[in-house]
Chain A
Amino acid sequence: AQTVTQSQPEMSVQEAETVTLSCTYDTSESDYYLFWYKQPPSRQMILVIRQEAYKQQNATENRFSVNFQKAAKSFSLKISDSQLGDAAMYFCAYRSAQAGGTSYGKLTFGQGTILTVHP
């Protein structure tokens, strides 16, 4: 079974600074997706960024970028130029893309990291 670990229950950053959230995962599969979801107080789950395991290039979305280390099974999220609106719970998630397996398509979440942004 796949597991996702976020070792930082809470992080804080000053507005306009950069912060990195950590995520590691455990899997024996070679084909999968990794995601970072943001959950603000409104509780809506919002996709921040996605990474396909077969792609070596790190995904970027505006101020959000990832450092994907497949061999180390690490998937960290970097938020640059942090804004007050970035304050939220962030979840790292793993989704199996290994066709035919019993876990095919399942999405497994880490425990989450609460990010506070100070003005």
Chain B
Amino acid sequence: DARVTQTPRDKVTEMGQEVTMRCQPILGHNTVFWYRQTMMQGLELLAYFRNRAPLDDSGMPKDRFSAEMPDATLATLKIQPSEPRDSAVYFCASGDLGVTGELFFGEGSRLTVL
């Protein structure tokens, strides 16, 4: 079965360290999303790519977060430097803009910043 693959599944790091999360979207999907989930804020959209072009990253703190799609098989979300308030589960999702409109989610990366 085709699925979205995210790494790492869990990450514990210290404040100030760089964190990179990776996502392999489903082959053929033309939209990729990064979401952050916390108890307080729920699911927040961080970044949205369509055909690898960034369309919306207004939900992302620009001073420390960056999102890229170097090619169609890889999306990355980087935090530098990390802070305790970045502790959350980060989801990647991919989908097409065809008939179903469905998004497929990865299993998420749980980040803990000490």
Interface pair A33/B101, CB less than 8 Å apart:
yes
Interface size on B, residues (CB 8 A): 23
A87 to chain B, nearest CB (A): 18
| Chain B, range 45-96, C-beta contacts under 8 Å to A | 45, 48, 50, 55-56, 89, 91, 93, 95
Closest to A109 in B: B43
**Cα distance A95–B33 in the bound complex, in angstroms:** 12
Q: Contacts A44-B107, A45-B105, A47-B102: A107 and B45 contacting too (C-beta < 8 A)?
A: yes
Interface pair A109/B42, CB less than 8 Å apart:
yes
Interface pair B31/A35, CB less than 8 Å apart:
no
Interface pair A102/B91, CB less than 8 Å apart:
no
Chain B at the A interface: mostly helix, strand, loop or mixed?
strand
Q: Contacts A35-B102, A44-B107, A106-B56: A112 and B42 contacting too (C-beta < 8 A)?
A: yes
Residues of A in contact with B, size category: 20 to 34
Interface residues of B (CB under 8 A from A): 31, 33, 35, 42-43, 45, 48, 50, 55-56, 89, 91, 93, 95, 97, 100-103, 105, 107-108, 110
Enumerate 21 A-B pairs (CB-CB under 8 Å) in ascending A order: A43-B89, A43-B110, A44-B107, A45-B91, A45-B93, A47-B102, A50-B100, A50-B101, A95-B101, A97-B97, A105-B48, A105-B55, A106-B45, A106-B56, A107-B33, A107-B93, A107-B103, A108-B45, A109-B35, A109-B42, A109-B43
Interface residues of A (CB under 8 A from B): 33, 35, 37, 42-45, 47, 50, 52, 91, 95, 97, 102, 104-112
